[in-house]
Amino acid sequence: MADTVTGPQILQENDNRATVKLVVVSDGTGGTTVMGDVSALAANNSGQAVARISIQQLWFSCSEGDGGNAYARLEYEDSDGDIPIITLISSGNFDFRSFGGLPSNTSSNSNQNDIHVFIPSTADAGNTFSIIAEFKKIY
């Protein structure tokens, strides 16, 4: 089996920001899904491609299952192993705009521009993870 993934769906996009929605229904084996795909975002009006993204706001809901052991984690893609950004438990929202957002990873490793959602294998089959993220586009 595999997780059932709906999205990522771009809800809004302009030259400065993109708002993306992702819903994952776990099959109980864990998995990783790309949420912030830099190459899928539109170039700006000058034709510059997006180089990386930073998280400005997050809204999320993680069903807790029978053991309360479900969480989702956002990670920067990295060739040496993904780099954790933030763990999401239960439901809530974060607003990082007051300090410019969570900065993108700028390590020298390859593939570090996309943001993944990681669901652990401890999640019960049927756990649902809904995430909406507002990203700042950096050129």
pLDDT per position as a tens digit, 81-138: 788 899 999 999 999 999 999 987 766 666 668 999 999 888 888 889 999 999 999 9
Question: In whole angstroms, what is the distance from residue 6 CA to residue 138 CA?
Answer: 26
Sequence-distant (6+) residues with CB within 8 A of 119 are 3, 24, 26, 30, 31, 32, 33, 70, 72, 127, 129
- The 10s digit of each residue's pLDDT in 63-79 is 876 666 678 999 988 77
Spell out the domain ranges in the chain: 4-138
State residue 111 phi and psi, 5-degree precision: 65, 20
Structure-token pair, residue 81: 């192993």
Instruction: Tell me which fold the domain 4-138 belongs to.
Output: Jelly Rolls (2.60.120)
> pTM for the whole thing?
0.90
